[in-house]
Chain A
Amino acid sequence: MILAIGGIKGGVGKSTLAVNLACMRALRKDVLFVDADLQASALDFMALRATLAPALPAPTTIQLNGEFVRSEILKQAPKYDDVIIDVGGRDTTSQRAAMAIADLFLIPVMPATFDVWATVTLNTILSEMRQANPKLKAVAVLNQCPARGQDAEDATSALMDPDTYETGIEFSLMKPRIVTRAAIRKAQSAGLGINEFKPVDTKARAEMKAVYKAIF
């Protein structure tokens, strides 16, 4: 499967989600991880992992940019079980190139007004890129949700309200959601996925696992 994790809003936890899913997937599959975000946070994470946790399975990691994201992954994908692409939070050629080849486009959305608004533009881009890739599926996941409160429910209603979009809704919303938890940040600093981090944060692990299961 080619999974791309993207969106047009920065700071929503795309790279964190991408590296967590990639590390979990690498436990049982041969994974190619592509950092197509020039910030290269995921690439830095993988380098950190290789240094601090060399014994743990890790995906093969490369960095690609622009149209090359499509052409190079088309060449490399048959050599791997799965490809996971992390793209930056803007409407870039890299992101569109990823959409042109992905089986699934995962959209992390924070339950906040600006984040929901950003999906309106993304919805249009998805609609456009389906001309290039008719098999493209897209699913949103609520990320960095507050542990308490009504925000996630409010965001769900706004995200899935047809009146929010000028055209039809081009993505679905998965039921699992990720809550902001310190353990995720701590795991990241140690080059680990939340599933590998100790002390175990049961809730954080369960949430990440549920997102993983909804995808793979």
Chain B
Amino acid sequence: MTKLPKKPKAVQPSEQQITELINKGGSTPADTPPARPQIKQFPLRLPPDLYDRTQRHGKSLVPTKTVTTFIIEAILEKLDRDGG
């Protein structure tokens, strides 16, 4: 009589196979790093009194503005005026 083949044993999946199956699930929000705006940084040289004046003025506004915000707004206004 021909020998009956043995019942195949369950094959343990590899780590890679398990990871692939897990990753078919949708990402949770924490998996995706929040998109960060691209910011170009450069050193801005200002005379100290101009910086102080800007800072004082920003603080006197309601709501207050930081020097950075004030400068960005000033640049945008100038660009609008000049059509830049």
Contacts and interface: CB of A to CB of B under 8 A. Distances in A.
Contacts of B29: 38
A93 interface: yes
Contacts, number: 56
Contacts of A90: 26
Contacts of B26: 90-93
A97 interface: yes
Given A100-B22, A134-B10, A93 B17 contact: no
Interface string A70-112: 1000000000000000001011111111001000000000000
Q: Is the interface of B mostly helix, strand, loop or mixed?
A: helix
Contacts of B30: 38, 65-66
A96 B28 contact: no
B31 A96 contact: no
Contact of A93 (B10, B13, B22): B22
Interface of B: 10, 13, 17-19, 21-31
Interface of A: 38, 65-67, 70, 88, 90-97, 100, 125, 128-129, 131-132, 134
